[in-house]
């Protein structure tokens, strides 16, 4: 993983929060193969989401 911050990280977060527009979803999916930072964030979020699939989304737990 690189140390830079990518402007598309917000799309990865929105994807896992269920708050992503279809066009942004497409942009994120097209972007992931070329960005190790976003791929790493996606992998971490996917791992955490799989720990307890019954858990409420973060926005509902607050």
pLDDT tens for 20-62 read 999 999 999 999 999 999 999 999 999 988 888 777 766 665 5
Which class for 6: exposed (0-12), middle (13-18), buried (19 or more C-beta within 10 A)?
A: middle
Q: What pLDDT, on a 0 to 100 scale, did the predictor assign at position 1?
A: 45
What is the pLDDT confidence band of residue 3, given thresholds at 50, 70 and 90? low
CA 33, distance to chain mean position in Å, is 13
For the cut 70, the answer to whether the pLDDT of residue 5 exceeds it is yes
pLDDT of residue 27: 97
């Amino acid at each position: 993983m690189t140390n830079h911050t990518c402007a598309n990280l917000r799309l990865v977060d929105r994807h896992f929060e269920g708050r992503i527009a279809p066009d942004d979803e497409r942009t994120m999916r097209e972007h992931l193969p070329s960005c190790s930072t976003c791929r790493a964030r996606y992998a971490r979020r996917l791992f955490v989401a799989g720990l307890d699939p019954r858990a409420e989304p973060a926005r509902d737990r607050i």
